[in-house]
Chains A and B, each alone.
Chain A
């Protein structure tokens, strides 16, 4: 049929037009062929990527299934649990109004702690500045009250003074961990016992004060759901690298006892905004710190 069509077309058209038509069509078809050949080459080249991609997909599917199971379990559990930790944060850590008594009480206990240990010689009065708005997350604005004071301390006093502020605002165990650290714990549960996520949830929600009083019991409750050595090692590494161990040390010291006695725990969340160091002679340091205490901007 095609030869007959071609023959009739060649007869119907002038010879010159027929030749030009054949050549142009031939060139177009040749270009199409080149494009198709390149597409074939690209398809075979993509196969190099396809095989490793295909190899990873089953593990991703498994992970998604595990995660879905954990989400389902934790959603059910969350629906039944109380929000006491959240309430505690709103009352003491990030209240509606900055509680001057609690902030000054903490600074006073801190001063007494470094002074008793002979790590501080003098500390100035504490200046409370005007409230300022602070944007913390692009669209979240809080109110902050600055507290400024100076102190003359030795090396240990300098460390204690500055490191203690990192422990303010901790209410539960989860508050002493960074996002990377609790994500690592989540991943460890996926690998060993996905259903153990509820035990981890209970561990992370444990009041930090209760944890410091009996670390072993709190950890053993968690480890009942995760018996592997890998999980124990992960937990130990996270404990050492996070604020957990420092927090425990602090709460076990006289300083921690004084905080408890003065009902200052959980401490309001404080950040050191401005710090100035200068030498004070004989290995002592003079530091001036401006610390912000926060409240909701309502």
Chain B
């Protein structure tokens, strides 16, 4: 249906008039585009995006849900199998054993600490450990010792040792008091005490 609009002058078309002329084509274009896309979304896309698994068609969403369902069923079946196969089901006993297995052994902690102490300086006995104690429940390691035979660099070597120990044992470290003392027979040395939280 032609719209009966006043003849515009060639120089300047008012905005309202332009809008009136394009409104219907614009609406029709948008409606056709939206219609086609809706048609594609509901009828064409499901045909091309469905995946055939074991004879059944699945969309991506249902595939995800199906996989999550399978994984959860597998987890339940694994737990049931362990329950029937393992001879002891006592929860307290299992928890206690698990707690012990999770702990780091004192032997490996000692070995690591000695390795760090001997590798931190060219002279292997520069960092001398005199006492190491480990509290398994709160996972803290207390280290006492002395940096010696390195002349006036004892505090620097101590700092390197603490840094290396921190890097290896993670978590936190209560830094030692950095001091340098003179002792006959040993010369300048830095006694230390610090704690590492594993």
Contact = CB atoms under 8 A, between A and B. Distances in A.
Contact of A276 (B16, B30, B81, B132): B132
Contact of B29 (A26, A78, A182): A26
Given A36-B38, A77-B84, A204-B85, A50 B90 contact: no
Nearest to B41: A36
B84 A74 contact: yes
Contacts of A3: 1
A22 B77 contact: no
A7 interface: yes
B38 A204 contact: no
Nearest to A294: B96
Contact of B87 (A26, A140, A172, A277): A172
B92 A137 contact: yes
A197 to B, nearest CB: 7
A175 B134 contact: no
Contact of A162 (B27, B64, B105, B137): B105
Q: Is the interface of A mostly helix, strand, loop or mixed?
A: helix
Contacts of A60: 67, 70-71, 74
A186 B87 CA distance: 14
A272 B27 CA distance: 80
A71 B77 contact: yes
Contacts of A22: 23-24, 26-27
Contact of A201 (B49, B54, B74, B85): B85
Contacts of A83: 87
Contacts of A217: none
A276 B87 contact: no
A169 B131 CA distance: 30
Interface in B90-118: 90-93, 95-101, 103, 105-107, 110
A56 B74 CA distance: 14
A175 B24 contact: no
Contact of B100 (A78, A183, A271): A271
B66 interface: yes
Interface of A: 3, 6-7, 10, 15-16, 18-19, 22-23, 25-30, 32-33, 36-37, 39-40, 43-44, 46-47, 49-51, 53-54, 56-58, 60-61, 63-64, 67-68, 70-71, 74-75, 77-78, 83, 85-86, 89-90, 93-94, 136-137, 140, 142, 158-159, 162-163, 166, 169, 171-172, 174-175, 178-179, 182-183, 186, 197, 200-201, 204-205, 269, 271-279, 294, 296
23 contacts: A25-B30, A26-B26, A29-B30, A32-B34, A33-B33, A36-B37, A40-B37, A46-B49, A50-B51, A57-B70, A64-B74, A67-B81, A78-B85, A86-B87, A89-B90, A136-B95, A137-B95, A175-B97, A204-B85, A269-B93, A275-B133, A277-B106, A278-B132
Interface of B: 1, 16, 19-20, 23-24, 26-27, 29-31, 33-34, 37-38, 40-41, 45, 49, 51-54, 58, 60, 63-64, 66-67, 70-71, 73-74, 77-78, 80-82, 84-93, 95-101, 103, 105-107, 110, 129-137
